Amino acid sequence: MMVWSRIFPLPKRPVKGQTGKQEQNDRMPVTSEDRMRALKSLTAALLIGVGGLVAAPAVAELNIVIDSPVIEPMPFAIPAFVDEGGAGDYATNIARVVAADLAGTGLFREIPAEAHISRVSSFDAPVAYSDWQAINAQALIVGAVQASGDRIVVKFRLFDVFTGQPLGEGLQFAGTPGSWRRMAHKVADAVYSRITGEGPYFDSRVVYVAESGPKNARQKRLGVMDYDGANVAYLTDSSSIVLAPRFSPSGDKILFTSYASGFPHIYIMDVGSLAVRSLGEIPGTMTFAPRFSPDGGTVVFSLEQGGNSDIYSMDVGGGGMRQLTNAPSIETAPSFSPDGSQIVFESDRSGGQQIYVMSASGGEAVRISGGKGRYGTPVWSPRGDMIAFTKQNEGRFHIGVMRTDGSEERLLTASFLDEGPTWAPNGRVVMFTRETAGAGGQAQLFSVDVSGRNLNPVATDGPAPDAAWSPLLP
């Protein structure tokens, strides 16, 4: 549980003995107007744009489009947060997580503490802009931590060093010590959003399959972790094969496929209690590839009977089953558009796997993939503007994105085996599974941004395929 607060702006002149006043406010305090004003004051804001895929930003003169041949990451400084009582290691650790979040995007570059001229000893002390300008920091993040008992309070301010202005208002988060990483992610999310204009995504979780054992007898169990691989918890044991978990839109439920009954069927887990129930087992069938509708009330999935797989939907309670496709080919991997009106899926009705879009109520489908090779596992971006997919061509696998009409296909990765993209809550980063070849081949999660830059492994505690990103945490 975390509480947001707004911190009054830094006083123009320091008043001796005065500490920063705080005002309780549940609302995210940076309005878009605030942000636009702030952006205009920043000399070089980064916008995660992909040429042609994203509408031109409102402040075009500040734009550094990621599509350009070279992106210069924005240099920033983040001194250890000020200890305002009992902070201990949190003062350093929280600043380190914020720095790792920002640098991990590839859009920011940290100026190490050894280079800092100024020391920040008080959260409300005036910023020595010239000291930060001298080391070329464009953004400065100043924070403070106070800890007592089971409560931690983290606050921060973001400064545009070259114009000598705060960028947005200070923010404060209060929570339990166990949520210190979440508070750090919230700080990083606010900084990232203010500077890029994109939605936040660091304060999020990922459900995945944790693997162990040899390739011909893999043990699989469901794991869940922070987006950066921290705070791992296991949700099932390894007694049955489990595949392809998916978060509900509110993050409180997980759909997955399990062989628990001896045959593959869909189950739904309550994340809080870990209670699991079967979702409509039907004799003689296999059910798989489930996903929630955006309102969380419907599950769309594949049902196989007599060797033929088609797409069905069902109420999350288990009733109201409807058949959405009816073809002798393989129809699978359905994913709703964020407005719930359409479903993108894969079918080999043309002879090989291709991507199609149909109404959420079924009916005629339009093929949108048109390039060479096979296309599968389409996933609609939470922003609605793109579809991520797996492409197989000439013995290689790729993760790619295309517009929802199939135009402007862009391959982001290439390897022996890449598959199963999942979108970050802001629709700007994709996580996927990469598996290496051979007897010792292992699965590893990677992330890449929609421009194809910044390909990075996700730090899991063992081989891990089948990631699904949660929504942004509240």
Partner 1 sequence: MTLMPKAILLIAALGLTACNNPDRFGAGANGGANGGFVDTNGLGDPNDPRSIAYFNQTVGDRVLFAVDQSTLSAEGRTILQGQAQWLATNSQFAIIIEGHADEQGTREYNLALGARRAAAVQQFLASQGVDGDRMKTISYGKERPLEVCSEEACYSRNRRAVTVLSMGSGA
Instruction: Tell me which residues touch partner 1 (CB under 8 A).
Output: 214-218, 241, 243-244, 261-264, 278, 280-284, 286, 288-289, 302, 304, 306-309, 318-319, 330, 332-333, 346, 348, 352-353, 376-377, 390, 392, 416-417, 419-420, 435, 437-439, 441, 465-466
Of the pair 24, 323, the CB lying nearest partner 1 is at 323
CB 287 within 8 A of CB 281: yes
Of the pair 120, 303, the CB lying nearest partner 1 is at 303
Of the pair 191, 368, the CB lying nearest partner 1 is at 368
Residues 6+ apart with CB under 8 A from 347: 325, 327, 329, 330, 331, 332, 353, 354, 356, 365
CB 30 within 8 A of CB 168: yes
Of the pair 281, 405, the CB lying nearest partner 1 is at 281
CB of 463 to partner 1, least distance (A): 14
Of the pair 29, 465, the CB lying nearest partner 1 is at 465
Of the pair 332, 460, the CB lying nearest partner 1 is at 332
Of the pair 3, 282, the CB lying nearest partner 1 is at 282
Q: How far apart are CA 111 and CA 432, in angstroms?
A: 30
- Give alpha helix (H) positions in 106-253: 129-134, 180-196
CB 244 within 8 A of CB 420: yes
CB of 390 to partner 1, least distance (A): 5
Please say whether the dihedral angle defined by the alpha carbons of residues 110, 114, 115 and 121, taken in this order, is positive or negative. positive
CB of 62 to partner 1, least distance (A): 40
Of the pair 98, 368, the CB lying nearest partner 1 is at 368
CB of 165 to partner 1, least distance (A): 49
CB of 332 to partner 1, least distance (A): 5
Distances (CA, A) of 45 to 3, 142, 192, 288, 452: 29, 19, 10, 44, 20
Of the pair 281, 339, the CB lying nearest partner 1 is at 281
CB of 306 to partner 1, least distance (A): 5
The DSSP output letter for 217 is G
Residues 6+ apart with CB under 8 A from 262: none
Token representation of residue 289: 């590839």
CB 369 within 8 A of CB 375: yes
Token representation of residue 130: 């010239």
Radius of gyration of the chain, Cα coordinates, nearest whole angstrom? 24
Q: How far apart are CA 47 and CA 219, in angstroms?
A: 42
CB of 420 to partner 1, least distance (A): 7
Of the pair 125, 417, the CB lying nearest partner 1 is at 417
CB of 12 to partner 1, least distance (A): 59
Residue spans of beta strands (DSSP E) within 189-284: 205-212, 219-226, 233-234, 242-247, 253-258, 265-270, 276-278
From the CB of residue 278, how many other CB atoms can be counted at a distance below 10 Å? 14
CB of 382 to partner 1, least distance (A): 21
CB of 55 to partner 1, least distance (A): 31
Q: Compute the CA torsion angle 298, 299, 301, 304 (nearest 10 deg).
A: -90
